[in-house]
Amino acid sequence: MTTDRGRAATTAWTAGPDGALRACLEDAVAAPSVHNTQPWRFRVHGATVEILADRARRLDVLDPQGRELFLSLGAAVFNLRAAMLARGRVPVLRLLPEPDEPDLVARVTVGPATRPPATATLLADAIPRRHTNRQPFSEIPVPADVLADLSAAADAEGARLVVTDPEARDAVLDVVRIAEQRRRHDPAYWRELSEWTRGGPERRDGVPPEAFGPWDALETVPIRDFSVVRPARRRRPAPFERAPTIAVLYTAGDTPANWLRAGQALERVLLTATVRGLASTIMTQPVEVPHLRALLRDASGGYDAQAVLRFGYGPFSAASARRPLDEVLVEGPPTDG
Ligand SMILES: Cc1cc2nc3c(=O)[nH]c(=O)nc-3n(C[C@H](O)[C@H](O)[C@H](O)COP(=O)(O)O)c2cc1C
């Protein structure tokens, strides 16, 4: 990950070894993705990056619609935009630009030079520091102004983040717990999880055992159990915070374009949390089971839940590996646009 953003003014906007575009792409691949599947490919021509879905990396059992695949792609798009802006160029974004090419999910072009806004610099600098944290968090409550910043981050990307009050929090966590327990009895889910939790030094994707975190034996915080298929790496029990800070990310609509917006909002929220010193966990188990997802729906405004998020003050959490950039850069003729 390049943090030397000041050089951008003198560096060429190419994807070559020292090019500014390459540095931006390194930031893009640091985005979170479901089970660390990294379901993206990038096609660069001139000053334009095309972001393509790699559907071979879709989770057939957990994500048959590809909704979480699109959320993951949206997160990568956000990082790409933030990285360009922090390097002094306006990112010009088009979502789903070619209806005839459904795997082409976005096109981001390096636009005019600009003075990087302070927020973009803070968010881009937070990209390498943001990791999913599955550790217990402290009991220290998250201040209201920090929570307001998180909601504003979602708003800025056309989504909505609702931080739950204690009553709603308990109801949301009940739904997460039910979804998680249901999955633990599903052999197809185990098989899929097994593929993405192998670990090992050569593995550059999937969730490594070091990232599983401990187990809240009371399941107050029902974090996804990645160890369910890895008995040798069973999570050890540990006390978790009793009053977790839980939020639900919503979009008004549930189309691929909404999922891409949700992914960008998700990453903006997570990076804002990182800037404000917060650790975060994504918990999407209930959103993967249609009748449980329906329970999270905000009927008043017609909003669909896209993810459940947990925030707090946590211990250090290590980075999960990424595939090298050259593995996800594809050659190909540019599409029109
Ligand atoms: C759409 C989406 C859904 C996710 N769902 C979960 C989840 O239910 N439980 C969990 O622990 N992590 C979840 N994650 C986090 C990923 O496992 C994580 O991003 C990935 O392993 C890479 O690690 P990193 O976030 O530390 O870079 C999700 C991430 C995304 C983008």
pLDDT tens per residue across span 289-330: 999 999 999 867 789 999 999 999 999 998 999 999 999 999
pLDDT at 269 over 80: yes
pLDDT band at 2 (very low <50, low <70, confident <90, very high): very low
How far is 335 from 206, CA to CA, in rounded Å? 31
**Quick one: average pLDDT of 90-106?**
97
- Higher-confidence position of 250 and 230: 250
pLDDT over 90 (residue 140): yes
Atom of ligand 1 at shortest distance to CA of 206? 21
Domains 5-130 and 144-312 agree in fold: yes
For residue 333, pLDDT beyond 70: no
pLDDT at 199: 85
Q: Is 303 exposed, middle or buried (0-12, 13-18, 19+ CB in 10 A)?
A: buried
Q: Which of 1, 29, 33, 69 to probe ligand 1 with, by most ligand atoms within 8 A of CB?
A: 33
Compute, in angstroms, the gap from residue 271 CA to the centroid of ligand 1. Answer: 14
CATH second-level architecture of 144-312?
A: 3-Layer(aba) Sandwich (3.40)
Are residues 214 and 315 in contact, defined by beta-carbon separation less than 8 angstroms?
A: no
Ligand 1 contact, 284 CB (< 6 A):
yes
Query: What's the rounded mean pLDDT across residues 26-49?
Result: 97
Flag whether pLDDT at 5 surpasses 90. Answer: no
User: 280 CB under 6 A from ligand 1?
Assistant: no
Task: Give me the residue spans of the domains in the chain.
Answer: 5-130, 144-312
State the CB neighbour count (10 A cutoff) for residue 277: 9
Cα(187) to centroid of ligand 1, in Å?
21
Considering only CA atoms, which of 64, 269, 70, 293 is closest in space to residue 176? 293
Model pLDDT for residues 147-171, shown as the tens digit of each residue:
999 999 999 999 999 999 999 999 9
Classified by CATH at the fold level, domain 5-130 comes out as: NADH Oxidase (3.40.109)
337 band by pLDDT with thresholds 50, 70 and 90: very low
pLDDT band at 1 (very low <50, low <70, confident <90, very high): very low
CA atoms of 72 and 316, how far apart (whole Å)? 23
